[in-house]
């Protein structure tokens, strides 16, 4: 692409992308549930963002829909331009519209990564975040599962994350953006500073904040 990236550029997971990215959570039905009312318009939004405005950072999650946005991205942008980075998230389940619950069991996380690869029709996720820390599962087990997939040789992540103690939980420390962080939902590993939002125990489904 020869378009000027909006807001300049930033390096994320080893790839230089537009500083202004496109979040896809609102490209679903009401309550971040199911397909949007106009699926063709959602696809046009994605294509317009990339091919007209030069946005090369697309942020999504398997929980959006659930699964809706990953399908939309595939239908809109595949085959993906070389300069586009798609960041997705795993570790959240959706029992109902507007309801979200963390699910960090290692078996579930592994299955979620594999499912995202299939929905996006790719053999590698440019960037994969732990969507939310599950207070019922040791954090080391959650992050360790994602790291193990990388160590097994699966071309899933571009960059690893180092953990260190910080206050009552952990922090991600990285030169730019690491794969195990959360953009906006609840307890989160900070992207740039490595700070962690205070954790609150939530063992049941909660409305989205």
Q: How far apart are CA 170 and CA 184, in angstroms?
A: 17
Would you give the DSSP letter of residue 83? T
> How far does CA 33 lie from the centroid of its chain?
17
- The rounded mean pLDDT for the chain is 79
**Per the residue annotation, which of 64, 80, 129, 177 is the catalytic one?**
64
Residue 124 has what pLDDT?
Answer: 87
Task: Say what the pTM is.
Answer: 0.78
Residue 150 has what pLDDT?
Answer: 80
Catalytic (active site) residue 78: no
Domains in the chain and their CATH numbers?
Answer: 9-189 (3.20.20.100)
Residue 189 has what pLDDT?
Answer: 30
pLDDT digits (tens, 9 = 90+) for 147-171: 888 888 665 554 334 444 333 222 2
Residues in the chain: 209
pLDDT digits (tens, 9 = 90+) for 30-67: 999 999 999 999 999 999 999 999 999 999 999 999 99
Q: Is the pLDDT of residue 14 over 90?
A: no
Q: Which residues contact 16 (CB under 8 A, 6 or more apart)?
A: 9, 10, 83
- Give the bridge partners for 99, in sequence order: 207
Mean pLDDT of 78-94: 95
């Amino acid at each position: 692409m020869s378009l000027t990236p909006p807001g300049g550029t930033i390096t994320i997971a080893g790839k230089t992308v537009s500083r202004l990215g496109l979040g896809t959570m609102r490209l679903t039905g009401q309550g971040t549930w199911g397909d949007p009312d106009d699926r063709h318009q959602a696809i046009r939004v994605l294509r317009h963002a990339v091919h007209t405005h030069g946005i090369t950072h697309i942020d999504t999650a398997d929980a959006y829909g659930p699964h809706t946005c990953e399908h939309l991205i595939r239908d809109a942008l595949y085959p993906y331009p070389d300069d586009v980075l798609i960041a997705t998230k795993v570790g959240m389940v959706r029992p109902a519209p507007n309801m979200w619950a963390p699910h960090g069991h290692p078996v579930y996380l592994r299955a979620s990564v594999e499912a995202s690869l299939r929905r996006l029709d790719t053999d590698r996720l440019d960037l994969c975040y732990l969507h939310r820390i599950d207070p019922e599962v040791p954090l080391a087990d959650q992050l360790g599962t994602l790291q193990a997939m990388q160590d097994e040789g699966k071309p899933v992540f571009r960059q690893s994350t180092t953990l260190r103690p910080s206050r009552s939980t952990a922090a991600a420390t990285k030169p730019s953006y690491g794969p195990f962080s959360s953009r906006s939902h609840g307890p989160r590993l900070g992207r740039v500073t490595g700070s962690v939002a205070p954790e609150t125990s939530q063992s049941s489904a909660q409305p989205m904040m």
